[in-house]
Amino acid sequence: MQLTVLDQAGDFSSSTTIVTASVAPNPYDLLVIVVGSSVDGETPDGRISTVSGNGATWAELFNEERDTAGNDYQLNVWVGTCGASPSAGAVTVTFLNASSKRSHILLSLGGAAAVRFLTSADGNAANPSLSLTGFPSDDDNHAHLCFLATVREPADIDPGSTFNLVAEQSCAGAGWSTAVEYSHIRSTPADWQYATSAHYCVGAAEVIPVGPGRVLPTFVNISSALATDAATPWEVTPALPSGWQPGDIHILAWLVGASSAGTVGGLTGWTPLLSAGYPLNPVRQANSNLTAEFWWRRAQSGDTAPTVTLTTAASGFYAAIWGFRGCISFGTPFEGAYFDTDAAAGTDTTPDTPFFHTFGTKRLAVGLCLREDDTAFASGFPPTGWAAAGNIGSNVGTDCAMCGITKAAVANDTEFSVVVGTISAAESCCTLGLALVPQPALPPPDGNRYVAAQTGQKQIVRASRW
């Protein structure tokens, strides 16, 4: 499963609708919108009547109500199933009655085949929890999403110890916030930590991924050498990895040593690699000691090596491209991308990857390390249990070295952080950690993979003929 936050916002005004920002789902995405809302007075029904948008088929997964003498509080979760050609645009939520407070989080569950409602509850207490025991036991490939709406602000809310926070959103500082967290562990309850009692609604669902049989992505190659330049005009042309094929995922890194750098150019058709979390930000390090960026592209027939340009640099400009195969063929092919830097002058002899998680099984964990010197590793590269994914350097200009490591992530929700290697002299460096998502085992049948169904009080969105 590839979990992405598409939009989140809150509002403190009377309205019967929520209109999200424009989003562009990928083919066959499973969309989830989580809405916390409040209607003044006990009598009005604060439920959602319809959800529409993106050409998806929308259905209510569950609704939990906290009815008090002063307010009708609601936690509404709806699921939208996209077909082969979803449309870009906003998602519109319509309520049965005007709500005075609203906050929402819109998620995409790429590679998910189904979402199954598990349980929900409401109350008025501190540190609410929701037991996930007693449900049919599925394998660790099945993630669990837990939802909270409460009269507390996000700053007051911490996720439970066994769960990881996905997103939090208040309604413009007026209370009744929403939060989403995930885990693959069922032996302990989903819980949230805040010290003061407050009204709340909570719920949980199981996310079932595309069927078995997926194959781990693999490392193909790295550019045969660092592309280098030490004078104006600042431009480099890193070679495409030897043996590349259409459909491979190419990750390009560039670095300027001992200097900040200007605006990059020449990367038409490439996408800035975005950090995990929300809002999404380009993975870039920039200060007076080191400037670096990462970009990615799904290779196509006829691709040629890009010529990367900079408006300003210093005495060294470097770039290389890594190639990977067997990744998902649509949408963003990675998850959990985080950037870590030790960019102060000469500060690190043991560069390490940032902490990053997988959201499903059969991922390829990848760590990429850029160093503002070409000093070789004295020991520890690649680290135990990891495989080398290229290691190239250059003594042009201020010197530079780039290397990679990979490791199979077989289990769901695996966390990684590892020292890439030990170098003999302290250097400025930066590292990237991410997990590459595999290609689904089975193609979507008949251009419409999903069918909405309801069994008793539990709603399921499931794949036809899977």
Residue 182: pLDDT above 90? Answer: no
Q: What's the alpha-carbon Rg for the chain, to the nearest Å? A: 24
Assigned token pair, 211: 């069927």
What average pLDDT does the chain have? 79
First to last CA, the chain: 16
144 compared with 374, residue with greater pLDDT: 374
Q: Note the pLDDT of residue 43.
A: 63
The pLDDT score that the predictor gives to residue 416 is: 84
Q: How far is CA 115 from the centre of its chain?
A: 18
pLDDT computed for residue 342 by the predictor: 65
pLDDT for 459 equals 37
pLDDT category of residue 141 using cuts at 50, 70 and 90: low
Which two three-digit tokens encode residue 204? 């949980």
Asked if pLDDT for residue 257 goes beyond 80, the answer is no
Collapsing DSSP states into helix, strand and coil, what is residue 447? helix
285-301: per-residue pLDDT in tens?
Answer: 666 677 888 999 999 99
- Above 70 in pLDDT, residue 457? no
Q: Which two tokens mark 275?
A: 């950090």
- Report field, pTM of the whole predicted structure over 0.85: no
Tens digits of residue pLDDT in 401-427? 999 999 987 666 677 889 999 998 888
Query: Residue 456's pLDDT band (boundaries 50, 70, 90)?
Result: very low
In this predicted model, what pLDDT tens digit does every residue of 218-234 receive, in sequence order? 999 999 999 998 877 88
Q: Which residue has the higher pLDDT, 255 or 135?
A: 255
How far apart are the C-alpha atoms of 154 and 76, rounded to whole Å? 18
Look at residue 444 and tell me whether its pLDDT is greater than 80: no
Q: Where are the alpha helices (DSSP H) in 254-411?
A: none
Contacts of residue 219, Cβ cutoff 8 Å, sequence gap at least 6: 322, 323, 324, 364, 366, 387, 389, 390, 404, 406
Q: Report the percentage of the chain scoring pLDDT > 70.
A: 76
Contact call for residues 238 and 320 (beta carbons, < 8 A): yes
Backbone φ, ψ for residue 276 (5° rounding): -70, 160
Tokens coding 49: 């009547």
Count of CA atoms in the C-beta half-sphere (13 A) of 4: 23
443 vs 329 pLDDT, higher one = 329
Q: What is the pLDDT of residue 390?
A: 94
pLDDT at residue 247, rounded to an integer:
92
What per-residue confidence (pLDDT) applies to 258?
63
The answer to whether 186 touches 132, Cβ cutoff 8 Å, is yes
More confident residue, 270 or 99: 270
Distances (CA, A) of 51 to 8, 81, 86, 102, 248: 16, 12, 15, 15, 37
Looking at residues 341-362, what average pLDDT do you find?
73
Question: Rounded CA gap, 100 and 63, in Å?
Answer: 18
- Does the pLDDT value for residue 174 go beyond 50? yes
Six token digits for residue 149: 């709406």
Q: Is the pLDDT of residue 466 over 80?
A: no
Q: In which band, very low, low, confident or very high, does the pLDDT at 279 lie, cut at 50, 70 and 90? A: very low
Cα separation of 254 and 296, whole Å?
A: 12
Q: Residue 291: how many CB atoms within 10 A of its CB?
A: 27
Q: Give the model's pLDDT for residue 209.
A: 64
Going by C-alpha positions, the residue among 281, 285, 274, 309 that lies closest to residue 372 is 285
Q: What is the Cα–Cα distance from 389 to 221, expressed in whole angstroms?
A: 7
451 pLDDT band, cuts 50/70/90, is very low
Please name every residue paired with 8 in a beta bridge, in sequence order, or none if there are none. Answer: 105
Region 96-112: mean pLDDT is: 84
Which of 460, 359, 409 lies closest to 1 in space, CA to CA? 359
Rounded to 10 degrees, what is the CA torsion of 211, 213, 214, 220?
-170
**CA 279 – CA 323 distance, rounded (Å):** 27
Q: How far is CA 104 from CA 25, 93, 167, in A?
A: 17, 10, 10
Across 6-10, 175-179, 334-338, 403-407, least confident range: 175-179
Task: Determine the 3-state secondary structure of 156 from DSSP.
Answer: helix
> What average pLDDT does the segment 98-124 reach?
83
Q: What is the pLDDT of residue 149?
A: 83
The distance of Cα 53 from the centroid of its chain, to the nearest Å, equals 22
Residues in the chain: 466
Identity of the amino acid at 440: P
Question: Is the confidence at residue 353, as pLDDT, over 90?
Answer: no
- pLDDT tens column, 375-398: 889 999 999 999 999 999 988 877
pLDDT reported for residue 154: 74
